[in-house]
Amino acid sequence: MVQTDTLIIGGGLSGLALAEMLYATGHDFLLVEARDRLGGRILTKTFGGANFDLGPAWFWPGQPRIAKLVNRYGLAQFEQFSEGILTYEDQNGVQRGQGYASMQGSYRLKHGFGALTSALSESLPSGKIIREAPVSHLLKRDGAITAKTPKSEITAKRVVLALPLRLAARIEFEPTLPNDTLTSMQEIPTWMAGHAKAVALYDRAFWRDAGLSGDAMSRVGPMIEVHDASPATGGPFALFGFIGMPPSTRCDETRLRQSLIAQLGRLFGPSAEQPTKLFVKDWAFEPFTSTKADLAPLYTHPQYGLSPAISNPWRGQLIIASTEVAHEFGGYLEGALEAAENAFDRLTANTALSSNA
């Protein structure tokens, strides 16, 4: 039986940021992650010496937590490329010059957001992180909580759920959480869980040479929104798009890839039909991100925050810290850091946690 003061379930940005805060202030913790990798919805792939985000790709001015973290770890940021003409596609064909670059003014990281989660995880002792350890049961008894994973049982004074609430609701709780708490957890959409993203890589940015920004909007699909995803300097150059087809129609990846390449050709010309690499990441079929409920498309940004039903389960021994409970930036990377910050404040407010020493 492993014992710790605070058990963090989930090794995405929120869980890693909370772990870093606890470690920096001398508090005992353990973090468990279901996947064999850390980062959660952050996923960065490397090709040709460059890095490409298949999950979140941007942050914005006015998001102080992530800006501070990026600066603290000495990571380089750069503005999203937006110079040139917008491309628009509907049933009447392809048109140029309508609208504006929707991500203009946003920031990207030079080595992708995987560099941020790597920096966080590398700041922590390796023995404080357990991968491939999905939690199936949480048992509260005699003032402590025991978590069951395939690898071990872990007993903690507090447990932080730093994962999507719909996934957290699948855990078997004993005693069972109140119906309104479980219902609220199941009803909160996991941001971006039902989405799929494609990134096409090229030896040159031929769209820029043609005066195009790489931004495109489409009512035809399969991608509904496209942006330039090239590195800050040099290549490979890239275009990425959000796939707007419902998850039920994305199961045939071969056909989907053919449709993606054909659309890139329509939007940006014949050169776009010859990518050197085409990444496709469908988050809807990622078992540690999405549930069946997340397959329904989201047409607007949900109203996130910590509702009364989920604010104090198990009288404060169970704390929720996913981006979906952040009041100000719910759903965003900044929201993950906001949730981690709020969880840290709750953990350290009324009790003296055990020291790592």
d(CA 120, CA 75): 12
What is the helix, strand, coil percentage profile of the chain, to 5? 30, 30, 40
**pLDDT at residue 357, as a whole number:** 33
d(CA 181, CA 73): 37
Token pair recorded at residue 129: 């992180």
**Under 8 Å between Cβ of 241 and 226:** yes
Alpha helices in the chain (DSSP H): 13-24, 64-72, 114-122, 165-168, 179-187, 206-209, 253-268, 333-349
Phi and psi torsions of 239, nearest 5°: -120, 135
Place of tokens 């996130």: 304
**pLDDT at residue 97, as a whole number:** 87
**Residues for the chain: how many in total?**
357
0.75 surpassed by pTM: yes
Instruction: pLDDT tens for the chain, 357 residues: list them.
Output: 899 999 999 999 999 999 999 999 999 999 999 999 999 999 999 999 999 999 999 999 999 999 999 999 999 999 999 999 999 999 999 999 866 778 889 999 999 999 999 999 999 998 999 999 999 999 999 999 999 999 899 999 999 999 999 999 999 999 999 999 999 999 999 999 999 999 999 999 999 999 999 999 999 999 999 999 999 999 999 999 999 999 989 999 999 999 999 999 999 999 999 999 999 999 999 999 999 999 887 778 888 999 999 999 999 999 999 999 999 999 999 999 999 999 999 999 865 444 443
Long-range (24+ apart) CB contacts under 8 A made by 149-156 are: 149/32, 152/1, 152/2, 153/1, 153/2, 154/1, 154/2, 154/3, 154/4, 154/7, 154/30, 154/32, 155/1, 155/2, 155/3, 155/4, 156/3, 156/4, 156/5, 156/6, 156/7, 156/30
Domains and CATH numbers, the chain: 1-40+115-188+300-357 (3.50.50.60), 43-112+194-285 (3.90.660.10)
**pLDDT at residue 297, as a whole number:** 73
Of 331, 291, 305, nearest to 168 by C-alpha is: 291
What contacts 284, CB < 8 A, 6 or more positions away?
A: 193, 194, 195, 196, 247, 250, 290, 294, 295
Angle at 232 between CA 226 and CA 236, to 5 degrees: 70
Angle at 284 between CA 225 and CA 257, to 5 degrees: 55
d(CA 120, CA 72): 11
| Rounded alpha-carbon distances, angstroms, from residue 240 to 72, 204, 213, 229 | 29, 15, 12, 6
| Rounded alpha-carbon distances, angstroms, from residue 270 to 203, 229, 265, 302, 333 | 14, 19, 5, 38, 36
Of 84, 130, 350, nearest to 230 by C-alpha is: 84
**pLDDT at residue 350, as a whole number:** 60
**pLDDT at residue 355, as a whole number:** 42
**pLDDT at residue 296, as a whole number:** 81
Token pair recorded at residue 155: 């007993």
Of 301, 289, 43, nearest to 163 by C-alpha is: 289
**Under 8 Å between Cβ of 197 and 44:** no
Q: What is the 3-state secondary structure (H, E, C) of 272-288?
A: HHCCCEEEEEEHHHCCC
Long-range (24+ apart) CB contacts under 8 A made by 52-55 are: 52/112, 52/199, 52/201, 52/229, 52/238, 52/240, 52/279, 53/108, 53/112, 53/113, 53/114, 53/229, 54/197, 54/199, 54/279, 54/281, 55/113, 55/192, 55/197, 55/281, 55/283
d(CA 319, CA 153): 19
